[in-house]
Amino acid sequence: MSELKSAFVTGAGGFIGRHLVRQLLKENVQVTALMMKGEPIPEGWGDNVKTVTGDVRRLVELEPEIGAVDAIFHLAAVVGDWGARQEHIDITVKGTEQAIELALAWDAHFVVTTSVCAYASVLAKGKLDETDAVGIPSSPYEFCKQEQERVTKEAVARGLKASIIRPGNVFGVESGPWVNTLLGMMREEKPCMVGNGDWDAGLVNVHNLVAMLIAAARSKSTGAEIYNAADGFGITWKEYMPRLAKAANVPAPKSVPLWLAKILAPTLEWLGHVTKRKERPLMTRQSFRLVGGPNEFSIAKAERELGYRPVMSFDDSMKELEAYFAKNPNNDT
């Protein structure tokens, strides 16, 4: 097991980042967090977290201010399946290259969070493990997740110690897409489920993802091996979405027919590009793949090589959300 007494976290103010920092503090790891200009410091950090304000695209310039650490958790990226491709590349890919340079300089374990979206066009077709070849990307996000993995693997030849984590659909308290966005659509009675949703949702609770990230940083897996991060098989959208609605006391999820969603996704995406729409369409090919078919992400490799075990069950995950909404009845996470 590798030493983990200090860590640098990019994207620390985001959903996953906040959970990761909290857990690192619980495990007595000294944390330095990269924050964007004007980004509020999360409650509870206080003097326990050293913060550095700066641009992920210029990390190397911040090296003296950050200081050497045992591990770098690289989370910073443009999140979403819309927007200018070059912006995604500049922030997500070039930011990764900058973080790699810091890891090389410090001989730190580089743990990069990509996404199951790196699978791209092979999603929604059943069981996937890390030996499966990735497909063709349809969005800047999918393309850049593949690029993050490529540049990380290439840097191993230069001495980089790295692990690549591909999270599934990350949910839990503070989740944007898989809690807040879904609840917003339910409140407005907009369809958020595709078909009957009776297939694996490919979920991972944020606590389980954090456990895998830390396990990777402490492991001897330093050759840029890829690990799927998920909760295991069996939880469907048909089970998750109604339970989420009940937990937040909002109307039950409405559904769009599967056949219609298959037509709408590429059509709306095409129209959005033709009209140079700034806001993402209601559905894209990427979003359809994430909810419109079975996504069964194997965690056998992480269990075998990292000793990963989910720390929170689905029932406990939903109880945590229910407790949050009970205390915050008028708020999203």
What pLDDT is attached to residue 330?
66
Q: Is the pLDDT of residue 17 over 50?
A: yes
Least confident interval from 77-91, 150-164, 297-311: 77-91
**Alpha carbon of 19 to those of 9, 25, 139: distances in Å?**
11, 10, 27
User: The domain spanning residue 56 has which CATH number?
Assistant: 3.40.50.720
What average pLDDT does the segment 309-332 reach? Answer: 90
Residue 278 lies in a domain: no
Its domain, for residue 90, covers 6-175+202-231+297-312
What is the average per-residue pLDDT within 81-104? 92
Residue 86 located in a structural domain: yes
Count how many domains the chain has.
1
Q: Work out the average pLDDT over 200-220.
A: 98
Residue 138 lies in a domain: yes
Q: What is the DSSP string of 245-271?
A: HHHHT-PPPEEE-HHHHHHHHHHHHHH
Global pTM value:
0.95
- The answer as to whether 64 is a domain residue is yes
